[in-house]
Structure 1
Amino acid sequence: MTFFSRTFDSLQHGLDYAALNNKTIANNIANVDTANYKAREVEFKAVLDDKLNKGFETKRSHEKHYDFNDKTTAFKVRTNQTTAYNHNGNNVDVDKEMSNLATNQIYYNALIDRMNGQFNSLQSVIRGGS
């Protein structure tokens, strides 16, 4: 069962990221007309790079494989303070946010499909392969 739990943990971690990203994007869109509101984004790549740069113990079955089993990573939400697109100091680009929302939805749906596949595989094993 270790295979399934590790896979489910990874998928859950991805779903946590997608949910936070969706909430952040929706908040940006909701505040598109709010004076001095600054757009926020979830930092995924920065967190991953930070973990890779600090180094962590991995278990490998091949010298080129990594085992990313550190589940303590918390995603960070960063506020973009460097730009202002609107005259009121707001920097939300609604077209960019809608594009990000669509991309995140595709990512989320892919994770759900993968998780459903894992449940179907588990169900098949329980039923004896039939």
Structure 2
Amino acid sequence: MFGSVSFDAMSSALDALSLRQRTIADNIANIQTPGYQARRVQFEDALSRAVSRGSGDVDATIGISVEPTREDGNNVNLDTETVSNIDTVLRYQLAERAIDGKFKALRTAIGNA
């Protein structure tokens, strides 16, 4: 169970989504910082490729946003960050429930043994 592709994939997703939440918070905290370029966390494509190869272990990468910049060189958009945060929270909750389901199945199996 703990070495399964699905468990490893959900664990990797939780780590990456947590990193994404921290990155969004950093972006918002720097919304008024001249020259600051928003960061974006990517992992979904790498996770998909890893799962198709029979692995669920991936590391997220942080890149710079290519969105247009304001006159001060900053490109943080509060609307984009807000929507991204909502999406990230929902994805995190989904992955968390999937992991919790695996633990419930394990507790049930141990209880019936």
The structure richer in helix per residue is 2
Match of 2:104 among 106, 120, 126: 120
TM-score between the two structures when normalised by the length of structure 2: 0.84
SS of 2:3's partner is helix
- State the identity as a percent: 28
TM-score computed with the length of structure 1 as normaliser: 0.74
After the TM superposition, which residues 63-74 of structure 1 pair with which residues of structure 2 at under 5 Å, given as runs? 66-69=52-55, 71=57, 73-74=58-59
Aligned residues: 112
Of 63, 80, 97, 2:81 maps to 97
Q: Which runs of structure 1 show a deviation greater than 3 angstroms over 4 or more consecutive aligned residues? A: 45-49
C-alpha separation between the residues in 2 aligned to 1:93 and 1:82? 9
| Rg (Cα) greater in structure | 1
Letter in 2 for 1:5: G
Paired amino acid for 2:99? M
After TM superposition, the structure 1 stretch with the greater mean CA deviation from structure 2, 40-49 or 93-102, is 40-49
The 3-state SS of whatever aligns with 1:5 is: coil
Q: What are the superposed Cα offsets for residues 59-108 of structure 1, whole Å, 9 maximum, x if unpaired?
A: xxxxxxx343162x322100125620x22111001011010001000000
- Determine the structure 2 residue equivalent to 1:43: 42
